[in-house]
Amino acid sequence: MARRGLPILKQLLERSRIDDPKNLSVLGLLGSKRSVTYMPRPGDGTPRAVTLISGDGIGPLVTGAVEQVMEVMHAPVYFEKFDVHGDMKEMPVEVMNSIKKNKVCLKGGLATPVGGGVSSLNVQMRKELDLFASLVNCCNLPGLPTRHENVDIVVIRENTEGEYAGLEHEVVPGVVESLKVITKFCSERIAQYAFEYAYLNNRKTVTAVHKANIMKLADGLFLESCREVATKYPGIKYNEIIVDNCCMQLVSKPEQFDVMVTPNLYGNLVANTAAGIAGGTGVMPGGNVGADYAVFEQGASAGNVGNDKLVEQQKANPVALLLSSAMMLRHLQFPSFADRLETAVKRVILEGKYRTKDLGGQSTTQEVVDAVIAVLD
């Protein structure tokens, strides 16, 4: 009798799976509990040290939000905290030593002075640690209305040369020369990283962004490198697009893009544009990675230190850095903690009760953090 009942039970389950979306999610959840998603090696659960730079403006608020959530989750990380500001002439030696020892850093925004003789600490850090790849994931979040749907763009930007090489000088009074440096080595490795990312994450298309119609040698070398790497990945479609047309296409039909690989300056512009389309810089995670080190921060740089009013009202949006810290947890091979954090953040966004001003609400940073903590599984 029990055996005869099995086919009937199977039919009922199949019917409920099709007819009721709630049952689908429940059954999917139960199924996922049985699967082995990550098999750690002995000792992998040892807490990892992470260098934490609070930064300027809203930096201390959003890094403090991450600290609170990590503590409640009992995540296997602990922070070595440093007080660094963008107006410093150089990154303190003890901070760089900490990053080199820990190999992973989480940071708030560092303000870069406009003009003057103070160089960007962000650029200094990327060069010294050889963080050659910047990655920003610009995607729609369920429950957050935007002009465009189905946006899921990953912008991978070369991080160490191009217009950010910092080679500027005044030739004669009133005439400044700024050099853009493009090398075969750096172009090939960023292209290799973009295609490898696409391959490992089941992405279908890589688009190279350029201005080779004008900068025929510099951007021409970048394109040549991308084309050579593309031949090694026949399963991934390869496209090219001129940067000005790219910007127009982004704001008119962003869903056409998948993975984008760019030289330094174009990537900064494209990532911020894509972030604005997908929901704003306050919700886009990102990171910078090299062969040995990784630094995670808010993905899009526009306004990443906020303004004085946000700081006074304690209403900075912590979502971007919380999602960046989930990326960090995956990088550290703590996938279940990353999933828990990401799921909680997305649930708060979906429910819509607690949102900061940039997302159409009036919540404080702490209220959003408390909401995330409340729904952690």
Question: Per-domain residue ranges for the chain?
Answer: 46-113+120-131+283-376, 147-278
What pLDDT, on the 0 to 100 scale, is given for residue 26?
A: 38
What pLDDT, on the 0 to 100 scale, is given for residue 117?
A: 53
Same fold: 46-113+120-131+283-376 with 147-278: yes
- Classify domain 147-278 at the CATH topology level: Isopropylmalate Dehydrogenase (3.40.718)
The length of the chain is 377
Low-confidence ranges of the chain (pLDDT < 70): 1-37, 115-118, 302-304
The answer to whether 110 touches 86, Cβ cutoff 8 Å, is yes
Residue in the block written with tokens 């084309």: 227
What pLDDT, on the 0 to 100 scale, is given for residue 36?
A: 63
Q: Where are any strands of DSSP class E within the chain?
A: 48-53, 77-82, 104-107, 133-139, 152-158, 162-172, 175-181, 205-210, 237-242, 259-262, 285-289, 294-298
Instruction: Give the DSSP letter string of 150-188.
Output: S-EEEEEEE-SSEEEEEEEEEEETTEEEEEEE--HHHHH
CA distance 48 to 50: 6
What pLDDT, on the 0 to 100 scale, is given for residue 29?
A: 40
What pLDDT, on the 0 to 100 scale, is given for residue 11?
A: 47
What pLDDT, on the 0 to 100 scale, is given for residue 81?
A: 96
Residue in the block written with tokens 């630094």: 295
What pLDDT, on the 0 to 100 scale, is given for residue 167?
A: 81
CB-CB neighbours of 43 under 10 Å: 6
Cα–Cα–Cα angle for 233, 149, 241, rounded to 5 degrees: 40
The answer to whether 342 touches 323, Cβ cutoff 8 Å, is yes
Relative to beta strand 175-181, strand 77-82 is unpaired
Contacting residues for 36 by C-beta, under 8 A, at least 6 apart: none
What pLDDT, on the 0 to 100 scale, is given for residue 333?
A: 92
What class does CATH assign to 46-113+120-131+283-376? alpha beta
